[in-house]
Structure 1
Amino acid sequence: MMLGDPETVAAQIRMRLPKLTPLEGKVAGDILARKDINDDTPLKDVAEKSSVSEAMVVKVAKKLGFAGFREFRKGLIEYYKSDAAALHTEISNDDTSSEIVQKVFRTSMQALEETFAIFDLAAFDRAADYLHRAKQRDFYGFGGSAQIARDARHKFLRIGLRGSVFDDAHMMLMSASLLEPEDVVTAFSHSGETSILLEAVQLARKNGARVIAFTNYHDSTLAQTADVVLCSTAENSALLGENATARIAQLNLLDALFVATAQRDRAAADANLIKTMSAVSKKRER
């Protein structure tokens, strides 16, 4: 891994977690959770804290993209000094309401900061081009991801770009079977490993449709299948969960993508926005 912006270190590690075995993932999680690692922390200490061999720690470091343990240690030290790392604090049972609010907001801020740090502008521009030119826009997602898909459809309809949301397995596969090369699927999946969504995405690709993936893991199966990957990242929280804060980052990515797509034909977007706003404005009158 090329060490640059310290805020990217933890994000790059999290994105590679799907490549690890359960034991390797535990070791990576143990090390990420530590805040006491410094330049003098020996490999032996890290291995003993995770109850594994020194060779295992080195193996994990390399699978996470580092040249070895020393580079891994250096990256973590730099990350722990960053502003983003300081934002996250785990919620405890005796937190006051004020502390809870601060911790939840700061954790979301961390997800935004780190997602922005790994932002892929070239992929973002390709995604906006695909959505702008698409004949049909289908949005796929299950559970919490389906809510993001619905938000996407709502946003694009406001500017006259029609799309459909599919959050049912059979409907998703039916959608994918009818897609053509002029069409685009935007798939939302935190893990990037939801089997039925992957089946639908692979069918869509087989039929020539472009696929845009919103996911937390760049090495996930969904990311490897997609034409364009827009990655979020979030630190795991025992109570909030990783998905909750990653969703905040994905919604911000979606907002930016919506604006960029609208900018491809701003005159048409503005004209359609006036129409759609006018159509619903009377419902707000009393």
Structure 2
Amino acid sequence: MNDPRAVGPQIRMRLPSLTPLEGKVAADILDRRDITEATSLREVAEGSGVSEAMVVKVAKKLGFAGFREFRSGLIDYYGSDSASLHSEISAGDTAGEVVQKVFRTAMQALEETFAILDLDGFERAAEFLHRARQRDFYGLGGSAQIARDVSHKFLRIGIRTSVFDDAHMMMMSAALLTPDDVAVAYSHSGTTSAVIEALELARRNGARTIAVTNYADSPLARLADVVLCSTAQNSPLLGENATARIAQLNLLDALFVAVAQRDRKAADANLSRTMRAVQSKRRG
């Protein structure tokens, strides 16, 4: 974890893989913004009411070599500009404070999503989408709205995609995919059964698979050829999903541009055609 901004996201992405007790220990440590190089393993263990061995185990499950590396990573992270962007919304906040906190939390999600982005995977995803015969998108609820936004952008440059937000329709789509096609699954948690099952079937049929999720170790991510991860810090009022949506939209905007760049002449020509087609619908 060479980029301090990536430490917080890498920890958050692994939290679902912890047991309830391990998760409590991790949360206790993450809440300690006063942690320094002088903070001892014993002190941390006593603060959580667990053994020193348990703290070391949690550190390793979160991707660190041991407690010392975990401690150093947190010190670097909390010293970074992105970590300081987030602050909780309170009942007494003024309108100006609410706006500032919401915007700063979104800025943090963008900074940290960029810090953890797998550029090689991003390039592979762009290539899959560019070369595909058929491009099917799967998502439910808010994730389906993300898929529709991306589908709209691709249509503007002449790249046709299909969005499926019904479990039965997803399975029908996946059953018809071939090695010439690509399936893109959208799920914040990476645990949505209908989306997982559809992507699994698409994979069995030889289609390339892409997962857009917040958790790199989730069941959905483990199925995909490429994983595009967003990250966001949880907030009691905003929730994690709402903030992650901003990061996902920006990440997928970048993917859209990367695909368009692979045949810029065709993209520009199709963009002109689709813009002219809707121009007549505008008044003034």
Smaller-chain TM-score range? over 0.9
The answer on 1:218 being equivalent to 2:216 is yes
Q: What is the SS of the residue equivalent to 2:90?
A: coil
1:42 positional shift: 1.7
1:180 positional shift: 0.8
The answer on 1:94 being equivalent to 2:92 is yes
The answer on 1:264 being equivalent to 2:256 is no
The answer on 1:171 being equivalent to 2:169 is yes
Rounded Cα–Cα distance in structure 1 between residues aligned with 2:175 and 2:26: 40
| Alpha-carbon displacement from aligned partner over 1:13-35 (angstroms, at most 9, x marks no partner) | 11222321222122212221221
Once the two structures are superposed, the pairs formed by residues 34-45 of structure 1 within 5 Å of their partners are 34-45=32-43
Contact 1:139 / 1:152 at 8 angstroms: preserved in 2? no
Q: Which residue of 2 aligns with 1:5?
A: 3
The letter of the residue matching 2:148 is R
The letter of the residue matching 1:275 is R
Specify which of 246, 250, 253 is matched with residue 252 of structure 1: 250
Rounded Cα–Cα distance in structure 1 between residues aligned with 2:52 and 2:236: 28
1:143 positional shift: 0.9
Once the two structures are superposed, the pairs formed by residues 180-259 of structure 1 within 5 Å of their partners are 180-259=178-257
Q: What is the SS of the residue equivalent to 2:238?
A: coil
Rounded Cα–Cα distance in structure 2 between residues aligned with 1:242 and 1:33: 17
Q: Which residue of 1 aligns with 2:104?
A: 106
Rounded Cα–Cα distance in structure 2 between residues aligned with 1:123 and 1:74: 28
Q: Which residue of 2 aligns with 1:50?
A: 48
Contact 1:190 / 1:214 at 8 angstroms: preserved in 2? yes
Q: What is the SS of the residue equivalent to 2:259?
A: helix
| Alpha-carbon displacement from aligned partner over 1:105-134 (angstroms, at most 9, x marks no partner) | 000100100111111111111111100111
Q: Which residue of 2 aligns with 1:133?
A: 131
1:49 positional shift: 2.7
Unaligned runs of 5+ in 2: none
1:99 positional shift: 0.7
Identity score, percent: 74
The answer on 1:30 being equivalent to 2:28 is yes
1:212 positional shift: 0.9
Rounded Cα–Cα distance in structure 1 between residues aligned with 2:146 and 2:172: 21
Rounded Cα–Cα distance in structure 2 between residues aligned with 1:34 and 1:122: 34
Provide the TM-score with structure 1 as the length reference.
Answer: 0.97
Q: What is the SS of the residue equivalent to 2:209?
A: strand
Contact 1:214 / 1:231 at 8 angstroms: preserved in 2? yes
Q: What is the SS of the residue equivalent to 1:234?
A: coil
Rounded Cα–Cα distance in structure 1 between residues aligned with 2:105 and 2:233: 8
The letter of the residue matching 1:232 is S
Q: Which residue of 2 aligns with 1:73?
A: 71
Provide the TM-score with structure 2 as the length reference.
Answer: 0.97
Q: Which residue of 2 aligns with 1:17?
A: 15
| Alpha-carbon displacement from aligned partner over 1:196-244 (angstroms, at most 9, x marks no partner) | 1100100000001111111111111111100011111111111111111
1:248 positional shift: 0.7
The letter of the residue matching 2:135 is R
Q: Which residue of 2 aligns with 1:123?
A: 121
1:285 positional shift: 2.3
Rounded Cα–Cα distance in structure 2 between residues aligned with 1:179 and 1:143: 23
Matched residues, number:
284
1:5 positional shift: 1.3
1:70 positional shift: 1.1
Contact 1:213 / 1:228 at 8 angstroms: preserved in 2? yes
1:50 positional shift: 2.4
Q: What is the SS of the residue equivalent to 1:283?
A: coil
